[in-house]
Amino acid sequence: MNRVFYGILLVVGIGLIVMPLSVPVFKSDAPYSVLNTKWNGLSSFGRLLYTNGEVTPILAPYDSVGLEDLEGTLVVVGPDVGFSSGEVEELKSFLEKGNTLLLADDFGTGNQLLEGLGLKVRLSKKPVLSLTYSKNADFPVTMDVRDPELAKGVSLLVMSRPSAILNVQNALVYTSNASMLGGTYGAFPVVVRIPYGKGTIILVSDPDIFTNSLYRENEPFLKNLVEGLPKKTFYIDEAHHADFNPYSSGSIVIRRAVNRELVFYYVLFVAFIAFIVESGIAGRILAWLASLVARFFREEEISQEELIRRLEEKGLDGDKLKTILEEIRTGSRIGGAHGR
């Protein structure tokens, strides 16, 4: 076979292994949506979840998608659409079976969900003010991350007008001591872990921590948070974003790393194909297979005497059968013996 053919096999095969992969994507303008690539979206956080596990968006009410039958972590960031009683019951079952809820909110509908779950924990209705901030007073910072796993590699956590978590003790993260809520000064909880049945609720009092605009500053903290989640199947709630409106946006390109071992085995495979073809082994194999098929489908051949003997065993007159066969052979019954 022509060497050009083997060259084409190598080029095409290796090209498919290393070429970029184009994947269609969708976008949304809704704040706190993982499909929103703008400053107030969570697309960067969504990629972080994707690199750590499986991601499935929730686009319908919980009682429509059967949340209680799912296993993993439900991610609810910045909800501004209310939760029905049916959804709350689905979420209760989801948590009681050992799953996780990551709820990040400040002044949206987070308190409604906490109340529906029968918890005393609440989000403050006013923002926490702080003398320690990043860009301006609207972006307070804290270094008070008290959970060792969350604190790995974290120098500070940047927030944006966060609320405080009320009625809790032993929080995972607090604001700086130079903070004020109402007329009270001190450090206020902003991240807390709450047991619920066999499951867990991780409550964050500022959804902006997860946004694209603050992702670079908060990436170490967010990585620690995601890696610490017990189950790596993530269900991202888009159904409780009032302005959620996905639209097509072309495609993104994912570059594949070169798998040297895979390339080596592919080249070896092409070399093997070339060897069996050029050596004639392939032709002999095909001929052998063809003979097997022919032998399998070949009809049994028997002599005239054997045929008459078998029919005599079934009760037919052998002499008459011989006469009929002779007449068929000479054509006397079809006019051949008379020139017709």
Higher pLDDT, 328 or 134: 134
Sequence-separated contacts (24+) of 32-39 with Cβ below 8 Å: 32/77, 32/78, 32/207, 32/210, 32/211, 32/241, 33/238, 33/241, 33/244, 34/236, 34/238, 35/238, 35/246, 36/212, 37/212, 38/212, 39/211, 39/212, 39/213
pLDDT recorded at residue 18: 58
Q: At what angle do helices 260-278 and 3-18 cross, to 10 degrees?
A: 160
pLDDT recorded at residue 338: 42
Higher pLDDT, 252 or 63: 63
Task: For domain 21-254, give the CATH number.
Answer: 3.40.50
Q: With a cut of 70, say whether residue 75 has pLDDT above it.
A: yes
**DSSP tag of 67:** G
User: 251: pLDDT confidence band, cut at 50, 70 and 90?
Assistant: very low
pLDDT recorded at residue 246: 65
User: 324: pLDDT confidence band, cut at 50, 70 and 90?
Assistant: confident
pTM of the predicted model as reported, rounded to 2 decimal places: 0.68
Contact between 223 and 215 (Cβ < 8 Å): no
Least confident of 55-64, 196-205, 308-317: 308-317
Tens-digit pLDDT profile for residues 166-222: 999 899 999 999 999 988 999 999 999 999 999 999 999 999 999 999 999 999 999
3-state class (DSSP) for residue 180: strand
pLDDT recorded at residue 91: 97
pLDDT recorded at residue 275: 66
pLDDT recorded at residue 201: 98
C-alpha to C-alpha distance for 109 and 336, rounded to whole angstroms: 101
Tens-digit pLDDT profile for residues 120-175: 999 999 999 999 998 899 999 999 999 999 999 999 999 999 999 999 989 999 99
pLDDT recorded at residue 256: 53
Which residues in the chain are classed under CATH 3.40.50? 21-254
Contact between 285 and 12 (Cβ < 8 Å): no
Dihedral angle over CA of 322, 328, 329, 332, nearest 10: 110
